[in-house]
Amino acid sequence: MKHLILPMRMAVIGIFAWAALSTNALAKDVVIGFTGPLSGPGAGYGRDVLNGIKMAADDINKGGGITVKGKKYTVKVEGLDDRIDPTIAVNNARRLSSRSKARVIFNPVFNTIAPLMQINQQKTSQFLLMAYSSTPKIEQIPNDLTVSIPPPFTAYVNAFCDMAWKKGWRKGAMMVTLGAYGDEWREAFKHHWEEIGGEILADKPANYYTETDFSAQLSAVIATHPEFLLIGGPSEPTGLVIEQAHNLGFNGGFVLVDQAKMDYIADVVFKGDLSKMGNVIGVAPIVGLPSPVIPEWNKRYEKEYGVHDTFEALLNYSATMIVVHAMEKAGTIDNPQAIKAAFAKVLPQDPTKVPTPFIGTLGPKLLITTTAGEIIDGKYTKVNQYVWWTKDEAAYMELLKSIPASDNVVTSWLPLKGYLQ
């Protein structure tokens, strides 16, 4: 019997060795966290952001995951609902950081981004905060572990004012959603519009999250006889505002804040009938973007998630791709400082690989053009694409070489104060 002991021991050792090798060969998880509204009035908005992150993770994993210092990892996304409650958002982030070891966490609302920026640099719970909000206030808060994803809404303010002025509009009125975001938008738009010589005749904010009858505010602003109305909040109630304005006899134009997407309103609220929109200036329709990736990506997204594609999904998809490739370049999945520092090594993104390619960084801000569009007489016009961060025309002309373009896109230089490099 004794002569069988050695072979048995060798067999057991062999089994453990095989198990160890197999474990090393198998991909481990790297967790990307999300806290945002997944219930309540902002649920659709939060869902779109989370969908974009998930779709990026799925595509990475289908391609074999990522390799960091010779180890294979699959990307796992963990999303938690915070209902735009700052306390819940902070608790979610701590949970994602401590329990799930997420070193990158996405959040899409400034009301919760601001308190997260108070904790994400703490040594016990450091994480890279991927902030999806267009408010410039993010860049004004000192924080070395925050990245701001979309263009600042002030770039849209300048672009929309430029387009409205070229249409010959001079007199406008405002009926934008209540809250910090709406307040910032109204203040910035009024300031810039009056600065270039325009006039704001009335300002009547409304709660786009709770109201369904906007007739009182609309009657008040229409009575001042504006040529256009600045309106907007979430897309669906913004569509309701357009419909009610027309019912009250308003025949002027509309400028939409960047939260409201005119292609979503046209497709979802008005069932594809652009004639019901009137003349509108807003964020460009997704189908008009100068990207060879968009058509197929759009089909996959709507098939996978059963909802209309949005910029929230597109931009967070591209931002997630930056994060995972930066992990590979940095050689780490758990050092948020190193991951952020590696962003420069994976930018600009290849426009044949992602639908909305980011070009570079400026401090905490990811750089991507502002795209604006119009609906005139029931039809989309050409897309206007604006470069807002180059310091002079020479830098702008050099940058044009790396920016996607098409016959349907007009690219312009529209420098934005506070962001020039």
Residue 248 sits in a domain of what CATH number? Answer: 3.40.50.2300
Tokens of 380: 């989309």
Confidence of residue 402 (pLDDT cuts 50, 70, 90): confident
Does pLDDT of 181 surpass 90?
Answer: no
17-23 mean pLDDT: 38
Does pLDDT of 251 surpass 80?
Answer: yes
18 occurs within a structural domain: no
Asked whether residue 223 falls in the same domain as residue 323, the answer is no
Does pLDDT of 296 surpass 50?
Answer: yes
Distance of alpha carbon 242 from alpha carbon 165, whole angstroms: 21
Name the pairing type of β-strands 253-256 and 280-283: parallel
Does pLDDT of 15 surpass 50?
Answer: no
Among the candidates 352, 367, 382, a domain finishes at 367
Asked whether residue 237 falls in the same domain as residue 164, the answer is yes
54 occurs within a structural domain: yes
Does pLDDT of 284 surpass 80?
Answer: yes
Burial class (CB in 10 A: 0-12, 13-18, 19+), 46: buried
Is residue 240 a contact partner of residue 247, using CB atoms and an 8 Å limit?
A: no
273-279 mean pLDDT: 94
Does pLDDT of 7 surpass 90?
Answer: no
Confidence of residue 287 (pLDDT cuts 50, 70, 90): confident
**What average pLDDT does the structure give for the chain?**
91
Asked whether residue 395 falls in the same domain as residue 252, the answer is yes
Confidence of residue 420 (pLDDT cuts 50, 70, 90): confident
Tokens of 205: 């904010």
Q: C-alpha distances in angstroms, 407 versus 160, 295, 298?
A: 21, 16, 20
Does pLDDT of 5 surpass 60?
Answer: no
Asked whether residue 189 falls in the same domain as residue 233, the answer is yes
Segment holding 173, helix H or strand E: strand 171-176
Asked whether residue 214 falls in the same domain as residue 348, the answer is no
- pLDDT tens-place string over residues 343-384: 999 999 999 999 999 999 999 999 999 999 999 999 999 999
Q: Domain tally for the chain?
A: 2
Does pLDDT of 6 surpass 60?
Answer: no
User: How many CA atoms does the CB half-sphere of 14 hold within 13 Å?
Assistant: 6
Asked whether residue 163 falls in the same domain as residue 228, the answer is yes
Q: What is residue 82's predicted lDDT score, i.e. its pLDDT?
A: 96
326-346 mean pLDDT: 98
Q: Which of 157-161, 176-180, 212-216, 379-383 has the lowest mean pLDDT?
A: 176-180
Among candidate residues 330, 348, 350, the one with its CA nearest the CA of residue 340: 330
313-330 mean pLDDT: 98
8 occurs within a structural domain: no
Confidence of residue 16 (pLDDT cuts 50, 70, 90): very low
Asked whether residue 144 falls in the same domain as residue 51, the answer is yes
> Quick check: bond before 348 cis, omega within 30?
yes
Distance of alpha carbon 135 from alpha carbon 157, whole angstroms: 12
Is residue 414 a contact partner of residue 387, using CB atoms and an 8 Å limit?
A: yes
302 or 125, which is more confident? 302
Does pLDDT of 300 surpass 60?
Answer: yes
Asked whether residue 87 falls in the same domain as residue 110, the answer is yes
Q: What is residue 324's predicted lDDT score, i.e. its pLDDT?
A: 98
Asked whether residue 127 falls in the same domain as residue 169, the answer is no
Tokens of 98: 């401590």
Q: What is residue 234's predicted lDDT score, i.e. its pLDDT?
A: 86
Q: What is residue 3's predicted lDDT score, i.e. its pLDDT?
A: 46
Distance of alpha carbon 331 from alpha carbon 51, whole angstroms: 27
122 occurs within a structural domain: yes
Q: C-alpha distances in angstroms, 369 versus 140, 296, 360, 411?
A: 21, 22, 11, 9
Confidence of residue 217 (pLDDT cuts 50, 70, 90): very high
Q: What is residue 58's predicted lDDT score, i.e. its pLDDT?
A: 97
191-214 mean pLDDT: 94
Tokens of 41: 């009035």
14 occurs within a structural domain: no
- pLDDT tens-place string over residues 39-94: 987 888 899 999 999 999 999 999 999 999 999 999 999 999 999 999 999 999 99
Amino acid identity, residue 46? Answer: G
Does pLDDT of 4 surpass 90?
Answer: no
6 occurs within a structural domain: no
Q: For the chain, how long is the longest CA-to-CA vector?
A: 103
419 occurs within a structural domain: no
1 occurs within a structural domain: no
- pLDDT tens-place string over residues 96-133: 999 999 999 999 999 999 999 999 999 888 999 999 99
Q: What is residue 44's predicted lDDT score, i.e. its pLDDT?
A: 87
Asked whether residue 171 falls in the same domain as residue 113, the answer is no
Asked whether residue 254 falls in the same domain as residue 362, the answer is no
* b (16+ CB within 10 A) / e for 316-355: bbbbbbbbbbbbbbbebbebbebbbebbeebbebebeebb
Asked whether residue 259 falls in the same domain as residue 401, the answer is yes
| 331 φ/ψ sector (left φ>0, alpha ψ -120 to 50, else beta) | left
166 or 15, which is more confident? 166
User: Which residues neighbour 307 within 8 Å (Cβ) at sequence distance 6 or greater?
Assistant: 44, 47, 48, 51
Say which residue the tokens 């989309």 belong to. 380
Q: Percent of the chain at pLDDT above 90?
A: 83
Does pLDDT of 26 surpass 80?
Answer: no
Helix orientation angle between 43-62 and 311-330, rounded to the nearest 10 degrees: 40
Q: What is residue 27's predicted lDDT score, i.e. its pLDDT?
A: 64
Range of the domain at 70: 25-150+292-367
N residues, the chain: 421
Distance of alpha carbon 382 from alpha carbon 227, whole angstroms: 22
User: Which residues neighbour 163 within 8 Å (Cβ) at sequence distance 6 or greater?
Assistant: 281, 372, 374, 384
